[in-house]
Structure 1
Amino acid sequence: MSSFERYLQDKGKGRGGDGGNYRRNAARELERFAEWAAGQRGADDWTGIVPADADREPAFEDLDERVFREYARHLSGDRGLKQNTVQTYYRYISAWCGWCVNEGYLEAHYAQRASAMAPLPEDDGRKPGDQQAWTSEQRHALTRHVDERAREAIETYTTLPEDAAPLDRQRARYTALKAARDRALVFVLAYTAVRVGELLRDPNDPRRRGVRWEDIDLEDGSMDVYRKKQQWDAASLPDPVISPLQSYQKIMDPPTERWPVFPTFDQRTLAELVQDELADRGERLDAIGKRRNEYARDLLLALDEDIRPPSITTDGARSILQRLSEAAEIDIDHPKHDYLAPHGGRRGMGEVLVRAFGYTVAARYLDNSEEMVRERYSHIEAGELGDVATEALNEIDPS
């Protein structure tokens, strides 16, 4: 498929995106997936994903969750692959699928659907403590990176000369808005321990439409979110999060409080939204084109006309964090993720809270039962008990 090379260039290292271990490994698995999709791999009776009456190569229109379920079943077959290996191979294909959604090739992240992943082997028994959790060093590196980018972009915008061309001013504002949004998102994920599904839009659940400005109280330091337990609840906004949100809100200046805090910046989505809304308001097609030409980006026109865009999705947040993790050159050694994943921010904050204040306080902040928190962070208690045992042995047998 022609999208493979573009995807690999985006993921590759060095000039032109031609290098890097991830690119090399992903290229190998994508080639295998393409061969399987064309019927050149798999069982003897496997003919590929193209309908039997169609004489052509596999195309995006052939992909849905059933295809990825079949591929998961193919990987999980009796090929002698270890559980971790099957999971790793599938993740390469899933990551490409997510990229295709962001690029507009696919309508949904089919590879991440529960039915698609069902044939994959069960978790191999890694302890909860082995799941990704942002370390203090990683958290500081990422927040420092997005803070520097946002400060630079905002300063560039706010110090433009008064006679700057309108489009130049708009471009500078857009760049500042995007950097400020990224900073606010990273700080919220890093310090609030809110689940990413509670913060952003879930296309499959209309109740999860993404946090709006009306849900945030920066003076009280709280944010209303729709919790995993299917009810609205207040989450805490600690001090490190307040300033990035205030700065971001100021530069965005949302026309109403019903605007999403983290709107999509996807140009295709915004273009369709602006055109449809202005047409619904009675504007002619040529007038709409003229209006859009007056703006560097459709997002800025949407702000001026109060055309409310949707929030970014959880998949969108993962793409943003992949981009930022790579730009910040953060050292990540994890079997599942080559970037700082959203849930890692929550788990990292859980580590901090358990170590500093114990399981009861951590459970309240994480909106979990104490029993679940003890299970998820059992490695911390095990380490502490090990220290107690060592101390006891030194008391009894100081030699």
Structure 2
Amino acid sequence: MSDDRAVSRPESALDDSFERYLQDKGKGRGGDGGNYRRNAARELERFAEWATGDRGRDDWTGITPDDVDREPVFADLDERVFREYARHLAGDRGLKQNTVQTYYRYISAWCGWCVNEGYLEAHYAQRASATAPLPEDDGRKPGDQQAWTSEQRHTLTRHVNEEARTAIEAFTTLPADTDAQDRQRARYKALKAARDRALVFVLAYTAVRVGELLRDPNDPRRRGVRWEEISLEDGSMDVYRKKQQWDAASLPDPVISPLRSYRRLMDPPTERWPVFPTFDQRTLATLVQDGLADRGTRPDTIDERREEYARDLLLALDADFRPPSVTTDGARSILQRLSDAAEIDINHQKHDYLAPHGGRRGMGEVLVRAFGYTVAARYLDNSEEMVRERYSHIEAGELGDVATEALEEVDSLVQQ
């Protein structure tokens, strides 16, 4: 991570950040491709024009104070500005509710990036007062909530499979005389791709809740699944369920191979290692620095030891400094990145990516349609009553088919 991320830039013009942000979000060489980049660029341009007073109401003069003559800068931004923009999207442009939500998310994502890069002190766009004018998800029935379709599931799993295979092959076929640092970089890239693949397959096919699989910073009991809690031979995984007790979840066949390949590549030093460790650089740097210090390593020697490794994760593996699991929010960020990379067509009023709970709901759809509510309830670890309520749209559709068939039969009798 570059040192300039921590630099405060309150006097920078808003559009000074746009190109760097779009490069980070873009695809291909230079980050100049991808649907997300194109759509985000459009919305950032609209936001900038609105901020200067060019796209607001007749009485709207922009976000700069009336007594100054300059372009808007980051010091002008606060939650009131984003609240006003949310109101502008919701009312002034006559957009549909899901479109308003989607357009605001582009600006909110940029705001979050600006916090990390030092342009802003806080994620103002996500504060409750800022999002209050956005339209509610009014009247959504359970069946309207996001559920990964078969096509979306196939597209995402195919993408992560190809990425992992490519990265693993690149690492395992390196020449014997490859530089040690280059070999480590290749291994790290393969580990990250393999972890992402395993995570996607588990979320796509097991119907396990993301809070049962990964770490929840607000609940110390949910520290993320460890390797000791997975049996690839039995096809099962012990998870701490929503009902506040440990229980076995099934690992269907599509999940076994990605997990086995990932475990072989990682070769965790103990069974107590998290299956899905964080790859956050700051967290891992602190982990290995504190771990080495606790073992009596001198500060200058700590730096030398870290320099031997291309990434702190690899040092943690060799020295058995057990990292924390990736968080539930981290999983959402991973899926947002992968959904964009896979260029998945998503049309949903709340999420512009394949959210973790959508994998669970998608499997619920498959199970209810194939085996009925009773079997689906057992697999989803829910009561049959709750499953019937959440997937009532399936039964309604089936009853509609029955009604159509009955009407056709009656019509044929009348015509005789």
Offset of 1:361 from its aligned partner?
1.4
Instruction: Go from structure 1 to structure 2 and tell me whether the alpha carbon gap of 1:269 and 1:104 turns closer, same or farther (over 3 Å shift).
Output: farther
Provide closer, same or farther for how the CA distance between residues 4 and 318 of structure 1 changes in structure 2, counting only shifts above 3 A.
farther
How far apart in 2 are the matches of 1:73 and 1:201?
32
CA–CA distance in structure 1, aligned partners of residues 118 and 275 of structure 2:
23
Partner AA of 1:395 in structure 2: E
* Matches of 1:174 and 1:359, distance apart in 2: 43
CA distance in 1, matches of 2:84, 2:383: 37
CA distance in 1, matches of 2:358, 2:106: 19
Q: C-alpha distance in 1, partners of 2:362/2:121?
A: 32
Q: Do structure 1's residue 351 and structure 2's residue 365 form an aligned pair?
A: yes
Within the candidate set 365, 373, 378, 2:387 is matched to 373
How far apart are residue 197 of structure 1 and its match?
Answer: 2.3
Identify the range of structure 1 (249-258 vs 114-123) with the bigger mean alpha-carbon deviation.
Answer: 114-123
Is the radius of gyration larger for structure 1 or structure 2? 2
User: C-alpha separation between the residues in 2 aligned to 1:117 and 1:227?
Assistant: 32
SS of equivalent to 2:208:
coil
* C-alpha distance in structure 1 between counterparts of 2:324 and 2:123, whole Å: 17
The answer (yes or no) to whether the contact 1:263–1:312 under 8 Å persists in 2 is: yes
1:326 is matched with 340
Which residue type is aligned with residue 312 of structure 1? V
Equivalences for 1:1-399 in 2 at 5 Å? 1=14, 2-12=16-26, 16-18=30-32, 22-23=36-37, 25-27=39-41, 29-30=43-44, 57-58=73-74, 70=83, 74=87, 79=92, 83-99=97-113, 120-398=134-412
Q: Deviations over 1:157-196 (max 9, x none)?
A: 2233333332232222112211110110110011011122
- Given residue 172 of structure 1, which amino acid in structure 2 is its aligned partner? A
Question: Could you say what secondary structure the match of 1:152 adopts?
Answer: helix
TM (normalized to structure 2)? 0.79
Which stretch of the first structure deviates more once superposed, 373-382 or 235-244?
373-382
Q: Secondary structure at the match of 2:175?
A: coil
Contact 2:23 2:32 in 1 (8 A): yes
- Looking at structure 2, the residues matched to 128 and 290 of structure 1 have their Cα atoms a distance apart, in angstroms, of 55
Give 1:303 shift. 0.6
CA RMSD of aligned residues (A): 3.6
Cα separation, partners in 2 of 1:214 and 1:14, compared to 1, 3 Å: closer
The residue matched to 2:247 in structure 1 has which SS? strand
Bigger mean CA deviation after superposition, 132-141 or 237-246: 132-141
Partners in 1 of 2:288 and 2:44 — Cα distance? 36
**Number of residue pairs matched by the alignment:** 390
Change (3 A) 1:24 1:169: closer
Alpha-carbon distance, 1:396 to partner? 2.0
Are the counterparts in 1 of residues 53 and 63 from structure 2 also a CA contact under 8 Å?
yes
Q: 1:329 to 1:72 in 2, by over 3 A?
A: closer
Q: Which has the higher mean CA deviation after the structures are superposed, 165-174 or 349-358?
A: 165-174
Code of the aligned partner of 1:194: V
TM-score (norm 1): 0.82
Q: Secondary structure at the match of 2:249?
A: strand
Verify the 8 A CA contact 1:36 1:48 in the aligned structure 2: no
Structure 1 residues 205 and 370, CA, compared in 2 at 3 Å: closer, same or farther?
Answer: same
Query: What is the percent sequence identity of the aligned residues?
Result: 82
Question: 1:156 and 1:57, CA in 2 relative to 1: closer, same or farther beyond 3 A?
Answer: closer
Q: In structure 2, do the counterparts of structure 1 residues 15 and 303 end up closer, same or farther at CA, with 3 Å as the change threshold?
A: closer
Structure 2, gaps ≥5 residues long: 1-13, 66-71
Q: Distance in 1 between matches of 2:255 and 2:121?
A: 33
The aligned amino acid for 1:278 is L
Partner Cα distance (2:121, 2:248) in 1: 33
**Which stretch has the larger CA shift, 229-238 or 258-267?**
229-238
Amino acid at match of 1:394: E
Q: Which amino acid aligns with 2:174?
A: L
Query: Mean alpha-carbon deviation: is it higher for 223-232 or for 14-23?
Result: 14-23
